[in-house]
Chains A and B, each alone.
Chain A
Amino acid sequence: MKIFFAFIITIFLVLGGYHLTFRRLKMPLFARGFYLTGIEFLFLGLLLGPHFLNIINNETVEELAPLTILLLGWIGLLFGFQFEIPKLKRISGKFFTAAAVESVLTFGMVFTGTMYVLPVIGTIPDGIITTTALIMGAAAASTAQTGLALRKPDSFPEHRKTLKLLRYISSIDGLTGILILGFTFLSRDSISNYSLTISERIAGFLIPIFACTGFMILYLLFLIRRKQESELSLVVIGMAIFTSGAAMILNFSPLFANFLLGVCIVNLTRDKERIFNLLVSVEKPVYLLLLIFLGCMLQPPEPWMLLAAALFFLFRTMGKMSGGYIVTCLQKKETRLKPYLGYGLLEQGGLPFAILYDFYQGFPGKTAGQIISIVIISIIFNDFISPIMLNRLLKGRES
C-alpha cells in the first residue's frame, strides 16, 4: 500500500506541472493567492501522512531522507542567492533598516509571547521551550511575497512607493528568521544541556562555523573552472547533499548551512548566473514537495493547539503592525506612508515552511509536529486574511 504514495506523488506532480503550465489561467484574486502559495499540497501531505492514509509514514520519510534534505538544501541555496552584495548595495539603507526593524520586532513579540504563554496553555516539555520559541519567532519574522507579486505597481500608481517598500522588506526580512534558525541549531546543546563547560559550549559554536568556512573554500575550488550544464548540476546537487549531511553531523541546520553556501557562491564565483538558473528551474516543484512532506508531519489539532495558533497569529500580527508603524515613522521625512503598513506584511509562507521542516528534522518528535501544526494553522488563516488586509492598505492614496 505504501508504495502507492509514489503513484500519488506522480499524479500530483503532473498536476503541479499542469498548475505551472497553465498558471496564466484567470482565477479570482483570492483563489489565486491561495493557489500560488501551494497550501493545497499541505493538505495532500496531511492526507498521505500517518494520520489518514499512512502512505508516507516515518519509515518512508526516513528512506527518502536524502531527497528531503536535498529539498532543504535547495531552498537554502536559493535564499542565499538573494544576497548578492553588489545588488544589495544598490538598495537604499532605509529598506534594510525597515526590514530589520519589523522582522526583529515581530520575532521579539512572538518569542516572548511563546516563551511565557505556550507552557501555560500547552504540553511543551521544559527542555525544548526556548528552542520552540526561537523557531516560532524565526518562522514569524519573514514575510511572503505572493500577494505582492499579484499586484503590479502599475495597477496601483498611487501606491507605488508602498508596494516598492513592501517588496524590499519582504525579500530581505527572511534573513532574520534564517539567522535565528542558525543560532538555534548552534546553541541546541547549550540550551538543552546545562552540564556543558564553557569551552564545550564555545567549541559547539565554533566547529560548525569553521567547518562551513572549509566547505566554502572547497566549493570555490570545485567551481574554479567553467563547467558544462550537466557537470554543474551534479556538482551543485553533490554540494547541497554533502553540506546538509555535514551540517547534520555537526548538529547544525542544513537549511542555514546551504544558505551560507549560497551567499558564498553568489558573491565569489563566475558561474553564479548559471547556478541560479539551475536552482530556479526546479524551485516550484521543490517547494511543493516540501509542502507535501511538511503536511505529513502535521498533527491532528487539539483544542490547546488551536488556541496557541490564534495566539501565534495575534503576536505575529502585533509584531508586524507595530513594526510597520515604526517603519512609517522612520520614513516620514521622505514619504508619508499609511501608518498601518503592517497590513501588507502579514502574509507568511515560503521560507517559514522550510524553517519548520528543518526544525522537525533536527528536533523530531510529537512536540515538533505540534509546533509545526500550530504555525501552519496560523499560516493558513493568514492566507485568508492577508489579501483582504493588503487590499485595505492599498485603498485610497499613500500620501
Chain B
Amino acid sequence: MNPPSQKTKNIFPYLLSLVIISCIAIWLLRLESRSGWHHAGLINLSLGFVLLTAHFSAQVLKAFRLPLISGYIITGILAGPYVSNLLSFEMVDQLRLADSLALSFIALTAGGSLHLASLKTRFRTILLTISFLTFFVFGFIFLFVSILGRHFSLFSDLPTTHITVLAILLGIIAIARSPSSAIAIIKESRAKGTFTETVLGVTVVMDVLIILFFTFAITISKAMMLEGAAIDLRLFSALFIEITASIATGAILGKLIAFYIERAGQDILLFLLFIAFGVTRISLWFSGYMAGTFNIYLHLEPLLICMSAGFFVQNFSRSGSAFMENLDRMALPIFVLFFSLAGASLNLHSLMICWPFAICIILVRIIGIFAGTFLAGKISHDPPAYCRNSWMAYLTQAGVAIGLAQLAGFQFPEIGGRLITVVLAVIAINQLIGPITFKIVLNLVGESDRS
C-alpha cells in the first residue's frame, strides 16, 4: 500500500493538469462565439477537455481505490449540462455518433470476452442466476410499487391500473444490466476466473433476454391499459426473428473479421472501429429501409450483432487473441469517451424530483438481487464468498434501461413521463454506486489483479 506522501506525489501531476486545463477551458469557452468555425471549435474543445480531464480525474480517484469509470462518469456529470454546462445538451447530442461507435466497440469486447468452454462449465449457475434474478428483482419491485407506489406524491393521482402497469414496467426495467460497465470494470481490474465469467455470462445473456421480457411486459400492459386490446402473439415471433437475424448477422460479421485478421493482419484496430461504426449505422438504415419499402418492421439490434460477432471471433476462429489484443489497445479512449458522455447525459433533474422514490426502488432492487444471487449460488454450491457478495456485481444500469424506459414512455404516454423520470433517477444513482461495488466484489472473490 502506498504511504500518503507517495499517494500525493502520484496524483499531484494529475491534479495540477486538471486545474490548468480547467482554467484554460473555462477561459476559452467564455469567449464570444462568432461563427460556425467557432462553434465547431467549441465542440472539439469540449470533447478534448472531457477526454483529458476524465482520464486525469479517474487517475486521481484511482488513488482512493475507486474504479476508473466512476472518474469518467463524475467528470461527465461535472462537465455536463446540469452542472457546469461545458458540455451542453446540444453538444452531447452532437457527440451521439461517437457514443454509438463506442457502444458497438464495447459490445464487440463483451462478446469477445465470453469463452465458450468456461461458459459451458458455468452454464447451470448462469441459468439459475438469471432465473432467480429475474424472478426476485421483478417480483420485489412489482410488489413494492403496486402496494406502496401511491403513497409517493409522484404517483398519488394515478388509478390502480396505471400503478400496476407502472409496477410491471419498472420491475422489468430493473432487471436490465449494463454490459458496458461490466466490461469496463473487468478490463480495468484485469479480472479472470469463474466468478467473472459468470457475471459476464449473466450480463450478456440478460441483455438478450431483457428484450423478450420487455416485449412481453409491454403486451400485457397494453392489454391492461387499453380496453379490448388482446395479447398479440405475432409480436413474439417477430421478436424471435429479430434476435435470430441479429445473432446470425453477428456470426457472419465475426467470420468476416476473422477472415480479415487472418488474411490481412494489418490495421486491425482501424478495421474494427469501422466495423463497429458501420454496424450501428447500417442496422439503423436497414430497419428504416425494411419499414419504408416493404412495410416490414424488422429491427436488427446493433449491440447484439456486435456481441455475437465478438463471440464468434473468439470461439470459432483462430483470431481470438489478435482480436482482443487490438480491442484492448483502443479500450481506454473508448471507455473514457463513452462513460464521460454517459455521465453528462445522466438526468440530475429527474433525481432532484423523485429521489425518495428512486432510493426506495434502488434498495428494493438490491434486496431482490441479493436474494436471487444468494439462492442461485447456494443451489450451485458456489463458495460462500460468492454467495454473500455476488449481488454487488449486478447493480450497474445504463443505456439499455434508458432505452427501454423511453420505449415504454412512448407506448404509454399517460405514465410515460413519470416512468422515465424515475428510471433516469435510479440509473443516475446505480451508475455511480454500481462500478464501485463491482470493483469491490472482484477484490473480495480474489479475481482482480490486485488480489
Contacts and interface: CB of A to CB of B under 8 A. Distances in A.
Interface of A: 3-4, 6-7, 9-10, 13-14, 16-18, 20-21, 62-66, 69, 211, 214-215, 217-218, 221-222, 224-225, 229-231, 233-235, 237-251, 254, 282, 285, 361-362, 364
A249 B38 contact: yes
Among B13, B42, B270: residue with most chain A CB under 10 A: B270
B284 interface: yes
Nearest to A247: B41
Q: Which of A233, A237, A247, A362 has the most CB of B within 10 A?
A: A237
A13 B273 CA distance: 11
Contacts of A243: 48
A233 B329 contact: yes
A231 B333 CA distance: 8
Interface in B36-60: 36-38, 40-49, 51-52, 55
Contacts of B264: 17-18, 21
Contacts of A361: 37, 40
B281 interface: yes
Contacts of A249: 28, 31, 33, 38, 41-42, 45
A242 B45 contact: yes
Contacts of A7: 278, 281-282, 285
13 contacts: A17-B270, A21-B263, A64-B97, A214-B24, A224-B13, A230-B329, A231-B55, A231-B332, A234-B333, A241-B45, A242-B48, A250-B28, A251-B37
Contacts of B45: 241-242, 245-246, 248-249
B98 interface: yes
Interface string B16-43: 1100110010001001010011101111
A69 B17 CA distance: 23
A285 B97 CA distance: 20
A66 B47 contact: yes
B94 A239 contact: no
B336 interface: yes
A237 B337 CA distance: 11
B48 A244 contact: yes
Given A10-B275, A218-B24, A285-B267, A245 B42 contact: yes
B267, B271, B282: most-surrounded residue (chain A CB, <10 A): B267
Nearest to A243: B48
A233 B266 contact: no
A64 to B, nearest CB: 7
B44 A65 contact: yes
What's the dominant secondary structure at chain A's contact region? helix
Nearest to A4: B285
Contacts of A238: 48, 51-52, 55
A229 B17 CA distance: 20
B271 A17 contact: yes
Nearest to A17: B267
A245 B43 contact: yes
Given A16-B267, A21-B266, A248-B37, 8 more contacts: A20-B266, A218-B24, A221-B17, A229-B329, A245-B47, A248-B44, A249-B42, A364-B36
Contacts, number: 158
B44 A3 contact: no
Interface of B: 13, 16-17, 20-21, 24, 28, 31, 33, 36-38, 40-49, 51-52, 55, 94-95, 97-98, 260, 263-267, 270-271, 274-275, 277-278, 281-282, 284-285, 328-333, 336
A241 B47 contact: yes
B284 to A, nearest CB: 6
B263 to A, nearest CB: 8
Contact of A9 (B24, B49, B274, B284): B274
A284 to B, nearest CB: 8
B260 A17 contact: yes
Contact of A14 (B21, B95, B260): B260
Contact of B282 (A6, A62, A63): A6
A9 B44 CA distance: 23
Contacts of A245: 28, 41-49
A3 B36 contact: no
Given A69-B40, A222-B52, A242-B45, A3 B270 contact: no
Contacts of A241: 44-45, 47-48, 51
Interface centre among A14, A18, A66, A225 (most CB of B within 10 A): A66
Given A20-B266, A230-B333, A245-B43, A235 B20 contact: no
A233 B27 CA distance: 26
A65 B44 CA distance: 8
Contacts of B13: 221, 224-225
A58 to B, nearest CB: 10
Given A14-B271, A222-B17, A242-B52, A230 B330 contact: yes
Contacts of B46: 245
A244 B44 contact: yes
B20 A237 contact: no
Contacts of A17: 260, 264, 266-267, 270-271
A211 B21 CA distance: 12
A182 to B, nearest CB: 16
B14 to A, nearest CB: 9
B285 A66 contact: no
Contact of B20 (A16, A221, A225): A221
A3 B265 contact: no
Q: Which of A13, A66, A245 has the most CB of B within 10 A?
A: A245
A224 to B, nearest CB: 6
Given A3-B284, A248-B44, A66 B98 contact: yes
Most chain B CB within a 10 A radius of its CB, from A3, A214, A240: A3
Given A218-B20, A224-B13, A241-B48, A21 B265 contact: yes
Contacts of B95: 66
A245 B28 CA distance: 9
Contacts of B33: 249
